[in-house]
Structure 1
């Protein structure tokens, strides 16, 4: 095998209470998975199958990192989400076995260049640049987990002011259904992260903002926009 030209670092996030790191292979994200968020984004009151978009693995910002305000936007938004980390491979996995693939959970923020997203939608163009940019996926340490998925409170505050506050149980498609649907589109592998959707209350961030978020009983995360 030929030598690689570059020795590139592997994106990874810590595991709570352990020395090892969880290497990130791919990041999948679910859109509009809370009814109230669908409504605030102009969506219909329905239960369409979940749709997915991706972020590059190196968009991950581990805990303690700072996030530079990205270029080409004047409307950067926060979207707090429960993150499911995949620890076992699977393809076309039925819902009743989907949680067997989950290594654990964390909390993450899907940062979005909302103005770029809106413009792309109007032109019916892909909105990859609005979601998959550098440092667009801050993620907490992961907590190993077995059994039913978390159902508790999910919230985000900016400079101490609560912006998003809901419960994971409000998701339209639950974690098992999301993992099952994702496995029908891709073969899931250890190292994959799935952002499972955000509740209502998404809003803008500016330089100097301090973001704090949590999924109750799972994980918390803080970072600053610089």
Structure 2
């Protein structure tokens, strides 16, 4: 099964936390010595050009990330073979209700609400032309990532600064849970995370190091979420 239609085939989003030391430090977190991850629902996917919904009263932050798309079942794979299980890549934003996350952390509770709202995984849809084939990124550990809110650069980093490389992340996660075709692995965010608000425009890009131009771009507007949620 191809992972190109991950909106329909992927069963889970595995998100790596604190995988850039400067990001861990900016939030006052210890730099991890082993990979740390959490799960997000696939219902949080938002295709490029959509609207990020900010729940009323929530302090929602952007986190730009390189996403690895799993191409076939991976269980207990060694790091030396882990990249054989990657079908391609995508550019994604892990949206986080930072205030809800802080409350959950203080109580020792899961981050599901802070990370799982609808539209909280904006992503360049890996279907047909939008899919980044594996061959287009020869080295996933040397990719430039950037994100702007309106016209201001907020995040600019390179995946060479990851604490744990993509292959090590896949190997580690696969020792705990089976990765399946279409699953999305968010590999962590560089420093510079911050708030977005209704009325903002969020743009982002990805460029293999040394390339003349971005390989792919994202653009989303930000609106207030309509619904019954109350904190």
Q: TM-score range by the shorter chain?
A: 0.7 to 0.9
Q: Would you say 1:92 and 2:76 are equivalent positions? A: yes
The counterpart of 2:59, out of the listed 61, 75, 87, is 75
Match for residue 211 of structure 2? none
**1: distance between equivalents of 2:41 and 2:58?**
22
**2: distance between equivalents of 1:148 and 1:154?**
14
| Offset, 1:47 | 4.5
TM-score, scaled relative to structure 1: 0.86
**2: distance between equivalents of 1:85 and 1:33?**
18
Match for residue 223 of structure 1? 220
Q: Would you say 1:29 and 2:15 are equivalent positions? A: yes
Contact 2:72/2:180, CA 8 A, preserved across alignment: yes
How many residue pairs were aligned? 206
Contact 1:55/1:133, CA 8 A, preserved across alignment: no
| Offset, 1:150 | 4.9
Contact 2:200/2:222, CA 8 A, preserved across alignment: yes
Stretches of structure 1 that go unaligned for 5 or more consecutive residues are 1-12, 16-20
**2: distance between equivalents of 1:223 and 1:123?**
33
The counterpart of 1:145, out of the listed 125, 134, 137, is 134
Q: Which shows bigger deviation, 204-213 or 121-130?
A: 121-130
Contact 2:92/2:124, CA 8 A, preserved across alignment: yes
**2: distance between equivalents of 1:149 and 1:166?**
13
The counterpart of 1:125, out of the listed 101, 109, 114, is 109
Q: Which shows bigger deviation, 208-217 or 143-152?
A: 143-152
Contact 2:51/2:221, CA 8 A, preserved across alignment: yes
Match for residue 104 of structure 1? 88
**2: distance between equivalents of 1:215 and 1:95?**
24
Give the alignment's Cα RMSD to 1 decimal.
1.6
**1: distance between equivalents of 2:48 and 2:105?**
32
> Following TM superposition, where does structure 1 have runs of at least 4 consecutive aligned residues deviating by more than 4 angstroms?
none
The counterpart of 2:180, out of the listed 175, 189, 201, is 189
**1: distance between equivalents of 2:141 and 2:178?**
24
Stretches of structure 2 that go unaligned for 5 or more consecutive residues are 126-130, 209-214, 224-231
The counterpart of 2:39, out of the listed 54, 75, 89, is 54
**1: distance between equivalents of 2:139 and 2:65?**
17
Contact 2:59/2:99, CA 8 A, preserved across alignment: yes
Match for residue 10 of structure 1? none
